[in-house]
Amino acid sequence: MNAKLISPWVGLVFGLVLSCGLSFFFGESPVQVFKILTTSFFNSKFDLGLTLFYTTCLIFSGLAFALPMKAGLFHIGSEGQLIISALTAAYLGTAIAPFQHAASVAISVFVIVALTLLIGALSASVIALFKVYKQAHEVVVAIMMNFILAALATWATVNKLQSPTSQNPETALIGESFQFLKNDFLKTYFENSPVSVFLFVALLCCVLLYFIENRTLIGAQVRAFGQNPHAAERLGISPKKILFLSLSLAGVFSAFIGLTEVLGNTFQYKIGFSPQYGFLGIAVSLLAQQNFIGIIGSAFLMACLHKGASDLDLETEHMTRDFSRVLQAIIIFSVAASYYIFNRKRDKS
Amino acid sequence: MMDSIVMLLLLSTLRLSLPLLFAVTGGYFSEKSGVAQIALEAYLLVGAFTAATFTYFTHSLAIGYLSAALVSALVGQIFCLLVLKLKANSVVIGTGLNLFAMGLIPIISKVIFNSTGSTPSLDIPESLSLAPYAVLAVTLLTAFWLSEKTNWGLQMKFAGEKKLALESVGVSPTRRQWQSLTVSAFITGLGGAVLSTALSSNYSPLMSSGRGFIALAALIFAGWNLPKSLLVCLFFGFCEALQIQLQSNATISTYIAAEFIQMIPYVATLLALLLTKSQHPPAELK
């Protein structure tokens, strides 16, 4: 079997074992913790639905990291983009009031989705702007943008859009007619859990990207640029085009997380709704080795673990839901390390 | 009246700049040796929690500071091992380390104090209120001496500018980077200790609130120059002091929201990147 293909999975297993072993030091049984982590996602239909909701968000954030990666860019700005686009969707959902006609509602929904995705794309292309014209490092700009966008969203929520009926910092619910996903068949089937039809949008995006990457000219250009920017430039591939395209598309995927939350789950913007999906996407993408179809599997796996970790609060004495972050971190570490260990062995043989 | 406000503002600027000054010095050692450092936040959190815990149990501020630096340097070894030995990407591992610190501290806190929230409050005697400034002075002087006056400092910078040159004189760049990253985590850990023992009197969750990134911003703003970046930290500390003043002053805060002042370090850094002709990041920085 190809060592390169199995290396992340060995890393994952090692990371899982290490994390569960760690729980021993907190006075918990590692076997018990492992059992909770790996089985709690199908305790009930609702739990499975919740896991599929996390899967949806993690697919999008995995794509938002993996796509620029193909062009050789480290995109860690997803968190800010998803926050500002969720706020945009929530604001538009309260500001637009369609007539009682199906066509009017449909057009309004289209406008909300289009504008939200546009905001996502624009906020991500700021990074490309700095990269192209100032040769600034994309990671630095992304970090700054994350903080600026989060502060903007907090300011707008607290000072302009605060729901008058709530004590928590959140916007009002979007219009009744935009809450049509409340009765969506997935939600009904999974006993009203947060999952929605956006799951299929996420799956479709993966398949579409896989096709574009392997079957179209632009896909080949992005890959060529990622492998050797200078050679690609000599072949007449415009770096400007590649940078703006890959980053703004990544912004679109970040914006989809905002839509999944606002149109498909809570129907409002809550400060701090994201358990840092933007950063969890890094683990998802690493595990799948930036393979767009593989991201579906790794997102589901990470979603199961995330769901499992959030049940540790109730099921154990000392472990809390914070363990999800420890788990993700250790998986990032061990997967990143396994790349080196396996490739080194292969180079020798 | 006006004088006292200005005085108060200056004093709190100095106080609030403290953790930033430590973190930026830590970040300097890492970035200058050619390793991008976005895990300063993790070191601050680890340092803050360790200092609060050790000071609480031993009633000694000195042990608190020392343990914060040592534990932070220990956590830094994870970063070194993965980035230098196992050739993982420093941005990925840095992000991972931040998640790691954010997740692990509440669980350890739950085991020790049976609470995921704040640690019990410390009573630090008034006579020790100048201690952080003394530690800062010693740290800064040592850092200057180390980076400007010693052979080690020169080699550390060569690791970040031209690895080959260093190898050709028989010094391992990886070894210099490893040492430099450990110094980086050690100093930033001290900044964390200041956070929980001087700026407040206990550890509260996520109390670093982005200061690691503000320090990184200061370093980039100053073009990877240590003296300049210390000045930038003072400016960012001033912004924070101003914001706190504004929050207690209802009339002004209706004109300028606190969130916009929080943004200043980040916006200023982006503007600096946009407006200045050329930044000089270490050539091998990645």
Task: Give the per-residue pLDDT at B3.
Answer: 73
* Minimum Cα–Cα distance from B113: chain A residue: A318
Asked if A139 and B104 come within 8 Å (Cβ–Cβ), the reply is: no
Q: Would you state the structure tokens that stand for residue B21, as one six-digit string?
A: 């000054």
Q: If you average pLDDT over residues A287-302, what whole number do you get?
A: 93
A253 close to A61: Cβ distance less than 8 angstroms: yes
Would you say B267 and A141 are in contact if contact means Cβ atoms under 8 Å apart?
no
In the predicted structure, residue A332 carries a pLDDT above the cut 80: yes
pLDDT of the residue at B194: 95
Span A220-232, pLDDT tens digits = 999 899 888 889 9
Question: What pLDDT sits at residue B250?
Answer: 66
Indicate yes or no: CB of B107 within 8 angstroms of CB of A320.
Answer: yes
Q: List C-alpha distances in Å: A349 to A343, A345, B40.
A: 10, 7, 39
Residues from chain A contacting residue B92 (CB–CB below 8 Å): 74, 282, 286, 332, 336
Q: What average pLDDT does chain B have?
A: 90
pLDDT band at A349 (very low <50, low <70, confident <90, very high): very low
Task: Evaluate whether B33 touches B156 at the Cβ level (below 8 Å).
Answer: yes
Q: What was the ipTM of the complex prediction?
A: 0.89
User: What tokens were used for A345?
Assistant: 């062995």
The pLDDT of residue B201 is above 60 = yes
Spell out which residues of chain A touch residue B259, defining contact as CB-CB under 8 Å. Answer: 151-152, 154-155, 158
Residue A197 CB partners (closer than 8 Å, separation 6+):
A181, A184, A185, A186, A264
For the segment B259-283, the average pLDDT, to the nearest whole number, is 82
Partner-chain contact B270 A130, CB within 8 Å: yes
Helix (H, G, I), strand (E, B) or coil at B199: coil
* pLDDT at residue A66 in the model: 95
pLDDT tens for B47-98 read 999 999 999 999 999 999 999 999 999 999 999 999 999 989 999 999 999 9
Report, as an integer, the average pLDDT of A39-65: 93
Distance CA A57, CA A64 (A): 11
Residue pairs spanning A and B at CB distance below 8 A? 134
d(CA A278, CA A41): 22
Tell me which DSSP letter residue A341 carries: H
Kindly state whether A322 is in contact with chain B, defined as any CB-CB distance less than 8 angstroms. Answer: yes
**Mean residue pLDDT across chain A:** 89
- On whether the CB atoms of residues A285 and A270 are closer than 8 A, the answer is no
Structure tokens at B168: 């050709």
Contact (CB<8Å) B92/A332: yes
Partner B, chain A 276-315, Cβ-Cβ below 8 Å: 276, 279, 282-283, 286
Q: Which of B82, B99, B259 is opposite residue A336, by nearest beta carbon?
A: B82
- Report the C-alpha gap between A260 and A199 in whole angstroms: 9
* Both structure tokens of B285: 């920085």
End-to-end CA distance of chain A: 14
Instruction: Tell me the mean pLDDT in the region B136-147.
Output: 96
Picking from B41, B85, B102, B107 by the largest number of A CB atoms within 10 A of its own CB, the best residue to mutate is B107
* CA dist list (Å): A265 to A53, A54, A237: 9, 11, 41
Confidence band for B119, pLDDT divided at 50, 70 and 90: confident
CB A11 within 8 A of CB A335: yes
pLDDT number for residue B94: 94
Compare all CA atoms of chain B with the CA of A324 and give the residue at the minimum distance.
Answer: B103
Residue A320 at interface with chain B, using a CB cutoff of 8 Å: yes
- Nearest residue to A312 (alpha-carbon basis) of A325, A321, A300, A301: A321
Q: Does A340 touch chain B (CB under 8 A)?
A: yes
- Residue B117 pLDDT exceeds 90: no
pLDDT tens for residues A120-150? 999 999 999 999 988 888 888 999 999 999 9
In chain A, which residue's Cα lies nearest the Cα of B263? A148
pLDDT at A87 over 90: yes
Task: State the Cα–Cα distance between residues A343 and A347, nearest whole angstrom.
Answer: 6
- What pLDDT score does A181 carry? 82
For range A34-43, the mean pLDDT: 86
Mind telling me how many Å the CA of B106 is from chain A's nearest CA?
Answer: 7
With beta carbons less than 8 A apart as the criterion, state whether B76 and B221 touch. Answer: no
Q: Which residue, among A178, A211, A228, A188, has the nearest Cα to A72 in the 3D structure? A: A228
Residues 12-71 of A with CB under 8 A from B: 26-27
Q: Work out the pLDDT band at B2, boundaries 50, 70, 90.
A: low
**Cα angle: A218, vertex A219, A224; to 5 degrees:** 95
User: Could you tell me the CA-to-CA distances from B263 to A134, A139, A155, B210 in Å, in that order?
Assistant: 21, 18, 11, 11
Asked if pLDDT for residue B277 goes beyond 80, the answer is no
Q: Do the Cβ atoms of A181 and A196 come closer than 8 Å?
A: yes
A326 to B216: CB separation less than 8 angstroms, yes or no: no
Interface of A with B in 194-223 (CB under 8 A): none
**Is the confidence at residue B108, as pLDDT, over 80?**
yes
What lies within 8 Å, CB to CB, of B10 at 6+ separation is none
Question: What percent of chain B lies above the pLDDT cut of 70?
Answer: 97
Q: For residue A7, is pLDDT > 70?
A: yes
* Alpha-carbon span A293 to A309, nearest angstrom: 25
Which residues of chain A neighbour B273 with C-beta distances below 8 Å? Answer: 130, 134, 136, 140-141
8 Å CB contact of B36 and A332? no
**Nearest by CB to A148, which of B38, B82, B266?**
B266
Q: Do A326 and B87 touch (CB under 8 A)?
A: no
A134-138, A140-144, A256-260, B120-124, range with greatest mean pLDDT: A256-260
Query: Cβ A329–B96 below 8 Å, yes or no?
Result: yes
Using the predicted structure, report yes or no on whether residue B1 has a pLDDT greater than 70: no
